[in-house]
Structures are given as structure tokens and as C-alpha cells.
Amino acid sequence: MKMTAKQRNTLPVSQFLTRLFNYGIFALGMLALSLGIGVVGYHYFGRLNWIDSLYNASMILTGMGPVDKMNGDVAKIFASAYALFSGVIFLTTVAIFISPIAHRLLHLLHVDEEENEEN
């Protein structure tokens, strides 16, 4: 039985879903680590309780903005650095999660071009 170009160049669906799951777990780990950094930072530098620290870190990490006012220079420096870090991490995490989907899509589009050239 002859394999088509499409079958040779793309992963089977089960392997693709496994890859997507693995990338998703890695992305969630990055988000959890980033959230942990924010929670600990807001707790110690911003002198917030744990729940308020979680709330502030979550809001910053998702791009919603700060909730509590930071008092003191160290707390403000941490909040600024964490906001910049969060912007980069959130975009990076989205890119990591979407990369297997984009990779598969590019393979499928490239395979279609090869099939048209052969005909």
C-alpha cells in the first residue's frame, strides 16, 4: 500500500494530541511557576496577605492590571518588574501552546502544495 505525501509528513492524530497535551502541560507549568513568583513577591515585598497576593499576581499575569496600591520603593520596583515579566511570559506561554498546532497546519499546507505540483 502506497503512502501519500500527506501521510508521510504529518503525525497521526493520536501522536499529535499527545504532543499537544505535553506542550499544554509545559505551558501550565510555566504559568504556575510565574504565578508562584508573583504570589511570593507580592506577599513579601508588597506586604499583602496570601489571598490578596494571589489575586494581584493573577490579575497582572493575565494582563488585567494591578489591584492593590504598592507602598514603598521595593514593592513598586517588584510590581514593575513582575508586570514586565508577566507580559513576556504570557505571550511565550501562548506561543508554546499554539506551536504544535501551527506546525501541523504548516505541514498540511505544504503537503497540499507538493500534491498540486505532482499533478
**Count of domains observed in the chain:** 1
Residue type, 45: F
* Contacts for 34 with CB less than 8 Å, ≥ 6 apart: 61, 85, 86, 89, 93
Q: Is residue 57 part of a domain?
A: yes
Q: How buried is 38 (Cβ within 10 angstroms: 0-12 exposed, 13-18 middle, 19+ buried)?
A: buried
Q: Is residue 3 part of a domain?
A: no
Predicted TM-score of the model (pTM): 0.79
State the residue range of the domain holding 91: 33-104
Residue 11: predicted pLDDT: 83
Residue 98: predicted pLDDT: 95
Residue 87: which CATH number? Answer: 1.10.287
Q: Is residue 27 part of a domain?
A: no
For range 80-88, the mean pLDDT = 96
